[in-house]
A and B are shown apart, each in its own frame.
Chain A
Amino acid sequence: MGSIKDVFHRMGSPRFFYHGSSVWVRGLYIVGVLGLIVGSFWGLALAPPDKYQGDSFRIMYMHVPSAHLAEMVYFACAVAGFVYVVWRMKMADVFITAAAPVGAVLTLLSLASGILWGMPTWGTGWVWDMRTTSVLVLLFLFFGLIALRQAIPRRDRAAYSVAILALVGVVNIPIIKYSVDWFTTLHQPASITFANEPTIETSMLWPLLVNTIGLYIFIAGVILAAMRVEVLKREQATEWVRAITRGMQR
């Protein structure tokens, strides 16, 4: 009776979350790393080389998943922000705190791998094309979330402000994307497209899918682990956390 509400309440309890999530972290890590190993091996060794780019296209197996995940992490932060603003659920804020740096690292990773990919194929590391530019803006949005939290000393106000900023940011993402698209088509004739290769071979697509799903699962594990640390930090005054730390010292 009232079981959904019950689960909702228990999910919101840091203690329940901490104890319930330890199995999940391990499981997600194992499955995620396995997926990444299989996908990377498949993509780096088994998939055929690209007709135009040779072997250099293989960095795609890292570049595309990280860029995709970075965006998804931002959307997840915005959803959590909505949950926090509406229901003031503490765990939603713990999620944003843990996920924002992870998202920023993913964004940096996709930018860095993009630069490495661009050097041999485009002949230059950085091009102001639509995707690079909007990923760069995404990085700024993550920095904003992190900086705002660092700047506000009171935790509940920081949580509320960061949640609102995440929501404002997510409303702006489509506008930013459109404007960047407009900007790049204006300043930059389509000099860099994958010449005559708009679609991707299925033999190249499968490892990409495996890697993306693997990274999804792995990142879920990373964020969950970071959330557990954050929960311990925030609840350090409570008896149940003290019991855990006493156990660790022994």
Chain B
Amino acid sequence: MGNFGVQFRRDLLVAIRGRTETANPIAFFVLALSLFVFAVGTDSETLPRVAPGVVWVVALFAAMLSTENLFHRDHDDGSLELMLLDSRPLFLGILGKLLAHWCVSGLPIAILSPLAAVFINAPFEIIAILVGTLLLGTPVLTLIGGIGAALTAGLGRGGLLLAVVVMPLYIPVLIFGSGACYRVLDGATVTGPVLWLTALLAGSITLAPFAIGAALRGSQEY
């Protein structure tokens, strides 16, 4: 368990001590939500209907934008190289880093989402499923975003490049996540999409760290 714990603890400490940077995804989440309200209007018919989708899209953007600096600092100060040279399994180290990152990006967003849902007049019955799907879905976003972040590590131009690389891979998570919320609104069962999200989570936990490891090796080798 060594590498996992070390990376998790270290990244979490770095995140907590650098407060503003850590608060950025959350601030973005709230700001972007209110932008949507300004654009769509406060019509009591449309706003509740688009609310679950809007919360999901904004959560997705927040997750994607925050993965951008997942490996940047480590690449710059050389600790990434040390992690790759470590004889302990890289898989666990990467998983620890990603978990720490999720704790300060996806998790707070999922926790805040009931508040956000109320904020944009989402119907009450979707709040439980919204939190549930975000808890299942945001780790997948972090894992997939990690692949993009590893591929672009040290290039000094994340941003839109990361979006182009990663967003097509986000589509299934978005479809099942917001789909589950709309199923609740329509009074249908949510087992299908929730099981799918769980499957995506299990699949990406097992596969994404390998891709991230390979991509990081590539970023250091050359």
Contact = CB atoms under 8 A, between A and B. Distances in A.
Contact of A179 (B152, B175, B215): B175
Nearest to A177: B172
Decide if the interface of chain A is mainly helix, strand, loop or mixed.
helix
Contacts of B152: 148, 151, 161
A176 B218 contact: no
Nearest to A142: B168
Interface residues of B, number: 32
A175 B157 CA distance: 29
Interface in B161-204: 161, 164-169, 171-172, 175-176, 179, 182-183, 192-193, 196, 200, 203
Contact of A165 (B151, B175, B192): B151
Contact of A143 (B164, B218, B222): B164
Interface in B18-36: none
Contacts of B176: 179, 182
Nearest to B157: A151
A182 B179 contact: yes
Contacts of B183: 186
| Chain A: interface size category | 20 to 34
Interface string B101-137: 0000000000000000000000000000000000000
Nearest to A85: B214
A144 interface: yes
Interface stretch (A55-63, A152-160, A202-210): A152-160
Contacts of B192: 182
A242 to B, nearest CB: 27
A183 B155 CA distance: 35
B77 interface: no
Contacts of A180: 171, 175
A137 B155 contact: no
A179 B165 contact: no
Nearest to A150: B161
Tell me what chain B mostly uses at the interface: helix, strand, loop, or mixed: helix
A71 to B, nearest CB: 14
A151 B215 contact: no
Contacts of B221: 157, 160
> Most chain-A Cβ atoms within 10 A of its Cβ — which of B166, B172, B182, B221?
B172
A141 interface: yes
Interface string A161-181: 100110111011001101110
A111 to B, nearest CB: 15
Given A164-B151, A164-B211, A169-B169, A179 B164 contact: no
Given A147-B161, A157-B218, A157-B222, A179 B172 contact: yes
B162 to A, nearest CB: 10
Interface of B: 147, 151-152, 155, 157, 161, 164-169, 171-172, 175-176, 179, 182-183, 192-193, 196, 200, 203, 207, 211, 214-215, 218-219, 221-222
Given A137-B168, A182-B179, 8 more contacts: A137-B171, A147-B165, A148-B164, A148-B165, A161-B215, A176-B171, A182-B192, A183-B179
